[in-house]
Chain A
Amino acid sequence: MVEAKKNSQSKVKNVAFRVVKATVKAVLVYLLYFFFASLLAPIFEVVSGSMGTIETFVVIFIVLMFLGDLAEHTIFQYFLGTARSLFIIAYLVLSLGEGVVSVDFENFTLTVNLTTFYMIILLLSLLDLARSVLQAVSFMSERAERSIQL
């Protein structure tokens, strides 16, 4: 009875710790975004509509990260990690297309070729995706090993 109570207390503590950790991480990431957004505000003003799109991206990214941290030590953590990587790839492909961004302001047209960055970000996202899959496989194999040992 006492042990069950201790176990339940430890579980609550564990969940509370995860919530606090996930919240702090999410707030830190949002603050980082806030800092960069205010720093780069003049550029966002030139590219109309970019601020809204980036904010949506950051919000979805933070939500997936928050949920992933909440689901720590479960298989869902890796699912959410995979979803986050796929979301970054999908966002890049949809927003940047071929990697050449063209913006009109006043009577000027600004064309920025972001292909190099596009490729680097895609590569890093693919590495993150691969890591999440590997972590999921590792997690499942460890659980299977533990159940065999028991």
Chain B
Amino acid sequence: MKVPIRALGIATFICWVILIAFIASAAYSIKDLSLGFGAPTFTAASNHELLYSLPLRIDNRGFYNLKAFNITTAYLDAGGSEVSRASTILPVIPHGENVTIFNNATLNMDSLLEKDEQYLFNDKNLKTSITIGWNFAELIPVQLSTNVTFPWGAPFYNFTLGQPSYDLFNSTHSRATVRLSFENHAVFDLDGNIRVELYDSLNSLLGESHAAFSVARSSRYADNLEFYVPLSTAPLPAAQNGHYKVFFSTSLFEYGPSVIPYG
């Protein structure tokens, strides 16, 4: 009886020593592991998509490899519904290596504007849930998660169409002049075209005008739109109030109509 008990004792002792040494070295290695986010970059991609690229720097100075390293970002709108999700997986990060991976999420502008057109006109915050996971020392699954907010700059911030001012153009048409202005708060330069339809209070189409624009980020745009209204179309009192229907067309998105009242 004594020999098996002694053998069992020696075996468990060896197992304890190995286990404690492994736990201590693994915990010590976590201390030497550093993760850091770089500044996100935004680029306009094809198919009306905006590419959010989030760099993550991993410096694995520990004793063990990191297996199945993955980063998942989920972008949520103000209501909490998901607008985009992206995952990047790296099979192994050997110990002693310094690696930078890029998590690229595409944000479809058309679907974003379908949810809420205010992304076009008002600065907002996009909530982002970031989850980083890996198998530490090939045995211990570790997950690190955080929530951050990315500021969303509206491409047509403070979009304003002024009150139309009428003057007689010729014997058949009057001319309505409307002041158009906005600021591009987006992270990208904006090129495109705005089509505006002018309606009176009786919902009759008075005229249509276009404005082509090219606005760099953080810049302001202002111009006058001219509508040529046939004098026979509507009585002047009815044209003192009404609404505009605005159609936006850029390389990143198409949106419209957005109805803006006047008068």
Contacts and interface: CB of A to CB of B under 8 A. Distances in A.
A24 B5 CA distance: 25
Nearest to A114: B140
Interface stretch (A3-11, A60-68, A102-110): A102-110
B143 interface: yes
A131 B142 contact: no
B19 interface: yes
Give the bracket for the number of chain B residues in contact with chain A: 20 to 34
Contact of B145 (A36, A109, A112): A109
A137 B2 CA distance: 11
A53 interface: no
B212 to A, nearest CB: 44
Chain A, interface SS category? helix
B31 A40 contact: yes
Nearest to A115: B141
Contacts of B24: 36, 39-40
B19 A110 contact: no
Nearest to A106: B146
Contacts of A130: 8
A112 B12 CA distance: 26
A16 interface: no
Interface of B: 1-2, 4-5, 8-9, 11-12, 15-16, 19, 23-24, 27-28, 30-31, 139-148
10 contacts: A39-B24, A107-B147, A110-B143, A113-B142, A114-B140, A116-B139, A131-B9, A134-B8, A137-B1, A138-B5
Interface of A: 36, 39-40, 42-43, 107-114, 116-117, 120-121, 124, 127-128, 130-131, 134-135, 137-138, 141
